[in-house]
Every structure is written in C-alpha cells, then in structure tokens.
C-alpha cells in the first residue's frame, strides 16, 4: 500500500508530468513517516493513559532540549563529553525519571569498575592495613593491603592513613586519589586525542583498583556495594564480566576460582533474599585478550568446569581488554572452538565483545564475524555492526542482542557525539538492542541511569517517548542469560515495578502540578 501511494505520487510528478496534488502529497508523506515509525524498536508497545501522561511529559522535555539546541539557544548534553555534560544532565527532569524507572538488567559491566569511586575512597582506603606507594619515577600510585608491607624498591609502601596525615589535608588527598582512579579530566578533547590515549589512563585505573579489589574482604564488600548501588539506581539484575582474579588475604592465603565464584554467588543470593524485587546476578567468566593462546585455552576449560559447578550462575565466557590493539577472536580460534570439538561437544555460551572499534574492515572489526560464527549469545558493544550488513542481518534474524554502552563509547573515544552512535541506526529497524554502562564507576556515572538518558535523548528520535524506554528495559530481561523460568518471574516482577513507577509519577505530578516543568536551557560551555 505504502509503496503504491509513494510511487503514484512520484510517477505523477516525474514520468507523466501530471500534478501530484497537495492532498496526495501529504498522504504519501504520512505513509512514509508511518512506515518508518512502525519499524522502530518499541513501536508496537501500547500505552495506557497513565503511561501516556508520562510519555507526554518526557517528550515535552526532550523536544524543548532538542529544539533549543537545534537553533543554538543551548547546548545538547549528549553531543558533549560526559565529563562536561554530567552536571547539566543530573539537573534535568528527564534524568530524574531515568533514575526512578525500573530498568531491568545491566548486561554489560565489568567486575572491578561498577562500584562508585566515592565508596572506594571513603570506605576501602580508610580501612586498616591499606597501603599506598608512589612510583619514584612516574609518581603513579599503587594500592595494596598488607599485614606488613614488603620492601618495594622504587615505590615504598606507606600506610595510606600515614600518607594522608602527612599530606595534611584529607579532602585534598582523597581528591587526588579520585583523579588517579577516574579517567575524568577537565579538557577531555585535549587530554585524550585518540582512543589509545584514553585507554592508557583507563588501564591505569584497573592497575590501581585491582590492588585493593583483590583483597578478600574488599572483594566481597565491593561486589555487595555494587549490588546496592545498582539496585538503588533501579536496576534489577546484573550480569558481570568477571576475570575471577587471585583474591588474597592478609596472611598470604590466595583463594582459588571456586572461592571467588562462591563469594559472588553467596553475596548475590543474600542480596536477592533481602531484596525480593532484585532478580539476581550472573557471572560471565572473562579471559584477557592480550594473553597467550595457552592461557585462553585454560580459561575456556575453566569456564566449562565452572558452568558445570555453578549452573545458572556462571553462564558463559568472553574476552576482555581493549579490542583495537588486542588479539582477535581468530587469533584464539582453536581455543574458542575447543568446546565444540569435544566428544561429545560441550556447549559453552559466548558473550563476546565485538566491533568495539572505528577501524573498518580490519582484523579487529572482523571479530564480529567470528563472534557470530562462534555462536555468541550477545555481542558486547558491536559499535562496528552497521559496517557489516550480513552480520547485522543474521543477528537481527536470530535475536542476538547487542549490548550498547553509549557513555563508554563516548568517553573512550569511539564517537564524540552520541547522536552519531551507530545504535541510533539499529533502533530504527527493531534490532535487538540492550543498554548497559560498561564501567560506570570510572567516569562517575550512575549504574545505568546516565546511559538510559543518552539512549533516550540521543539514540532514539526526537519523537520517541516512553515506548522505547519500556522496550529497552524489557529487552534487558529477554536477552539476559537467565533461564526461561527466571525470565518469566523477572518479567512479572519488573512489570509490577513498572506499574508502580508510572503510578508514583502520576500521583506525584497530580499533587504537585509539576507536569509542565521543562528542561532548563543552559549553555554548558562558552
């Protein structure tokens, strides 16, 4: 039908030189707009009147922000580095709704970058036995817990409490620590010119945090605190890419992988028991994509074993680390084919990072091809996905979701303006997209709300309201690694929370008459 109307109008103008009357022009135009709208992710969702009220409010705010920026009255936060835009976002009514909204699962986050630095600094670094040293050449700090620190040439261990007193100003000392941990800077465009520049600093974060993260009491508390913070941010489940490090005790004991997995599982179970609206946690065991082939083979074997030992908790395998300069999936192909080549074959679900790169048609973005051939259950980032139309089609047909991390891709320099993020295109075609946050602690983002803000404001179109938000939340359950039974329960629970969220908003607004309040139009810069 659409095609007929459309061609009719074009033919009239062009080939037969007969008038395309304005009426049929408008009909054709509406038909195209509707056809495109119907293809959008979330377009089929029906809203009730309570949802429509919030939809209207969200759209008003979004459109005001966009239209003001379009004509130059104000800046558009998703176009500007998150380090600079966060302050403004935090004040916006849209963000406040993102915080309150039940967002479902965070499906792409990394073990040691999910708990706020504020907690790490104010809690972890104030514990007894916490030591710090500063490299005498570079000034770079390291952290570690000891009963009695060993000699450490070039970087002498000192109790952090001593270092803090010597510094003379606790607040300033902690701010310095924050700057050493976080990748946040005042002028990100100048400080980090390329993706490699910012990854250098990003890798320093892991070097620094892991000294304390790997300390058994901190390890447990860090994970528990992550769950607290995610849940407070209205996230109901988390799937963690976990490297399962060697966790140490003060007495020199080093725990094995089973201890680590059991710690995760116990904390997770306990937290879920205390918070019945929380669906739980899954672990995706992750090797490091710079390690030798033999190491990754051992990781794969461990993953198989752990999946058997901890069914429905350890759910699969991935490789982590900067994809651009890192080793490719093809490099590890024998390791990764290992499970399927056993007699009988073993099914090890993969959750591969793939296409987290701007390098078109290089060995790096070919990772997407190998991820799919290796039957990945989801793709992490998939930033390069649109450049691979065949892979994109296969993923769409097979329901292989892409885990989109908008802020991570911006601050780690894949794309400056989130409006140019490739997921904006994926969402025009009902592609299975989920929104996650990768390493929110490192850039001081909320567990998931800031990324949802970006998805809503900049990946979705100006006229896309609450439908896309609802769809993204539901997608995060649909494409999670939960069992069908778990998904069913989770979806029912999420739905209750969604209804409450909608009702709470309507109640609040009918009382306070805040419905028409709009985003401020603030110039962020200049």
Span 195-254, contacts to a second copy by CB under 8 A: 196-197
Contact 154, 136 (CB under 8 A): yes
Specify whether 356 is catalytic.
yes
Query: Could you say whether residue 331 binds a second copy (CB under 8 A)?
Result: no
Map tokens 């261990």 to a residue: 157
- Contact stretch for a second copy (CB under 8 A) within 95-103, 194-202, 236-244, 285-293: 194-202
Query: Could you say whether residue 13 binds a second copy (CB under 8 A)?
Result: yes
Between CA 163 and CA 111 the distance in angstroms is 28
Between CA 468 and CA 364 the distance in angstroms is 31
- Binding a second copy (rule: CB under 8 A), the pick from 369, 499, 515, 522 is 369
Query: Could you say whether residue 52 binds a second copy (CB under 8 A)?
Result: no
Measured from the CB atom, is 20 or 263 closer to a second copy? 20
Smallest distance from a second copy to CB 323, Å? 10
Query: Could you say whether residue 4 binds a second copy (CB under 8 A)?
Result: no
Q: How many CA atoms lie within 13 A of 259 on its CB side?
A: 15
- Which strand ranges, in their side-by-side order, compose the sheet holding 237-242? 105-110, 237-242, 280-288, 314-320
Between CA 234 and CA 236 the distance in angstroms is 6
Between CA 450 and CA 407 the distance in angstroms is 8
Measured from the CB atom, is 58 or 372 closer to a second copy? 372
Count of beta carbons in the 10 Å neighbourhood of residue 277: 15
Burial class of residue 127, CB neighbours in 10 A (0-12, 13-18, 19+): middle
Contact 337, 359 (CB under 8 A): no
Specify whether 110 is catalytic.
no
Residues 338-357 touching a second copy, rule: CB under 8 A, are 340-341, 344-347
Between CA 409 and CA 472 the distance in angstroms is 18
Q: What angle do CA 311, 317, 320 make, to 5 degrees?
A: 145
Active-site hit among 99, 229, 356, 464: 356
Measured from the CB atom, is 21 or 172 closer to a second copy? 21
- Binding a second copy (rule: CB under 8 A), the pick from 386, 495, 497, 518 is 386
- Binding a second copy (rule: CB under 8 A), the pick from 99, 111, 358, 519 is 358
Query: Could you say whether residue 519 binds a second copy (CB under 8 A)?
Result: no
Query: Could you say whether residue 361 binds a second copy (CB under 8 A)?
Result: yes
Query: Could you say whether residue 6 binds a second copy (CB under 8 A)?
Result: yes
Site pattern 274..313 for a second copy (x: CB under 8 A)? ----------------------------------------
Measured from the CB atom, is 238 or 315 closer to a second copy? 315
Smallest distance from a second copy to CB 11, Å? 9
Smallest distance from a second copy to CB 190, Å? 7
Measured from the CB atom, is 244 or 368 closer to a second copy? 368
| Count of residues in contact with a second copy, rule CB under 8 A | 88
- Contact stretch for a second copy (CB under 8 A) within 3-11, 87-95, 286-294, 503-511: 3-11
Query: Could you say whether residue 23 binds a second copy (CB under 8 A)?
Result: no
- Binding a second copy (rule: CB under 8 A), the pick from 417, 488, 504, 521 is 417
Burial class of residue 448, CB neighbours in 10 A (0-12, 13-18, 19+): buried
Query: Could you say whether residue 33 binds a second copy (CB under 8 A)?
Result: yes
Among residues 200, 118, 102, which one has the least CA distance to residue 499? 102
For 289-400, strand residue ranges (E) read 314-320, 353-354, 378-381
Q: Which long-range contacts (CB under 8 A, 24 or more apart) does 364-372 make?
A: 364/323, 364/324, 364/326, 364/328, 366/328, 366/330, 367/323, 367/328, 367/329, 367/330, 370/328, 370/329, 370/330, 370/333, 370/336, 371/329, 372/400
- Tokens read off for 348: 């090890």
Query: Could you say whether residue 44 binds a second copy (CB under 8 A)?
Result: no
Active-site hit among 110, 381, 388, 450: 381
Query: Could you say whether residue 362 binds a second copy (CB under 8 A)?
Result: yes
Query: Could you say whether residue 464 binds a second copy (CB under 8 A)?
Result: yes
Query: Could you say whether residue 521 binds a second copy (CB under 8 A)?
Result: no
Among residues 149, 156, 116, 164, which one has the least CA distance to residue 134? 156
Measured from the CB atom, is 261 or 427 closer to a second copy? 427
Residues 440-459 touching a second copy, rule: CB under 8 A, are 458
Q: Which long-range contacts (CB under 8 A, 24 or more apart) does 496-499 make?
A: 496/277, 497/102, 497/234, 497/236, 497/277, 498/101, 498/102, 498/470, 498/473
- Tokens read off for 225: 């605190």
Smallest distance from a second copy to CB 443, Å? 18
| Residue-level length of the chain | 526
Q: How far is CA 439 from the centre of its chain?
A: 7
Smallest distance from a second copy to CB 470, Å? 18
Measured from the CB atom, is 398 or 514 closer to a second copy? 398
- Binding a second copy (rule: CB under 8 A), the pick from 43, 47, 79, 134 is 79
Residues 387-416 touching a second copy, rule: CB under 8 A, are 387-391, 394, 414-416
Alpha-helix runs per DSSP H in 182-283: 188-191, 195-213, 216-232, 257-274
- Binding a second copy (rule: CB under 8 A), the pick from 429, 503, 510, 514 is 429
- Contact stretch for a second copy (CB under 8 A) within 34-42, 263-271, 445-453, 478-486: 34-42
Distances (CA, A) of 365 to 224, 356, 359, 368, 434: 35, 7, 7, 6, 20
Give catalytic residues, as residue numbers.
356, 381
């Amino acid at each position: 039908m659409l095609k007929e109307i459309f061609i009719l109008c074009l033919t009239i103008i062009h080939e037969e030189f007969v008038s395309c009357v304005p009426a049929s022009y408008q009909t054709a135009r509406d038909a195209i707009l509707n056809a495109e709208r119907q293809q959008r992710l979330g377009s089929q969702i029906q809203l009730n009147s309570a949802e429509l009220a919030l939809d209207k409010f969200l759209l008003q705010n979004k459109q005001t922000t966009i239209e003001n920026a379009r004509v130059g009255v104000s800046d558009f936060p998703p176009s500007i580095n998150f380090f600079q835009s966060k302050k403004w976002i935090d004040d916006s009514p849209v963000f406040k709704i993102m915080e309150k909204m039940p967002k479902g699962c965070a499906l792409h986050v990394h073990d040691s970058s999910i708990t706020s630095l504020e907690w790490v600094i104010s809690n972890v670094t104030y514990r007894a036995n916490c030591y710090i040293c500063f490299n005498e050449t570079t000034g770079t700090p390291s952290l570690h817990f000891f009963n009695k620190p060993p000699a450490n040439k070039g970087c002498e261990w000192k109790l952090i409490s001593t270092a803090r007193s010597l510094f003379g100003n606790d607040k300033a000392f902690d701010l310095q620590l924050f700057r050493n941990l976080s990748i946040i800077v005042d002028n990100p465009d100048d400080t980090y010119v390329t993706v490699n520049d910012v990854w250098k600093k990003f890798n320093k974060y892991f070097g620094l945090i892991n000294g304390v993260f790997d300390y058994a009491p901190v390890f447990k508390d860090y994970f528990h605190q992550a769950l607290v913070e995610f849940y407070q941010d209205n996230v109901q489940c988390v799937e963690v890419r976990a490297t399962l490090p060697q966790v140490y005790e003060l007495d020199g004991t080093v725990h094995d992988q089973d201890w680590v997995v059991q710690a995760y599982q116990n904390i997770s179970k306990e937290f879920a028991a205390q918070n019945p609206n929380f669906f739980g946690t899954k672990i995706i065991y992750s090797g490091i994509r710079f390690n030798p082939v033999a190491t990754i083979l051992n990781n794969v074997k461990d993953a198989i074993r752990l999946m058997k030992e901890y069914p429905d908790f350890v759910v699969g395998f991935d490789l982590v680390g900067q994809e651009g300069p890192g080793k490719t999936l093809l490099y590890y192909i024998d390791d990764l084919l290992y499970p399927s080549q056993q007699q009988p074959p073993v099914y090890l679900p993969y959750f591969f990072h793939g296409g987290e790169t701007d390098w078109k048609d290089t060995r790096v973005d070919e990772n997407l091809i190998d991820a799919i051939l290796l039957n990945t259950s989801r793709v992490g980032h998939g930033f390069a996905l649109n450049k691979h139309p065949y892979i994109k089609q296969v993923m769409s047909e097979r329901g292989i979701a892409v885990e989109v991390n908008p802020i991570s891709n911006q601050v780690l320099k894949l794309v400056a303006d989130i409006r140019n993020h490739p997921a904006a295109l994926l969402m025009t075609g009902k592609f299975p997209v989920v929104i996650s946050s990768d390493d929110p602690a490192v850039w001081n983002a909320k567990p998931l709300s800031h990324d949802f803000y970006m998805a809503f404001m900049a990946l979705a179109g100006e006229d896309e309201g609450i439908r896309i938000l609802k769809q993204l939340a539901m997608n995060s359950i649909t494409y999670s690694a939960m069992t069908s039974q778990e998904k069913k329960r989770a979806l029912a629970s999420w739905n209750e929370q969604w209804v409450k969220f909608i009702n709470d908003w309507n109640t609040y607004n009918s009382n306070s008459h805040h419905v028409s309040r709009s985003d401020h139009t603030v110039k962020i810069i200049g």
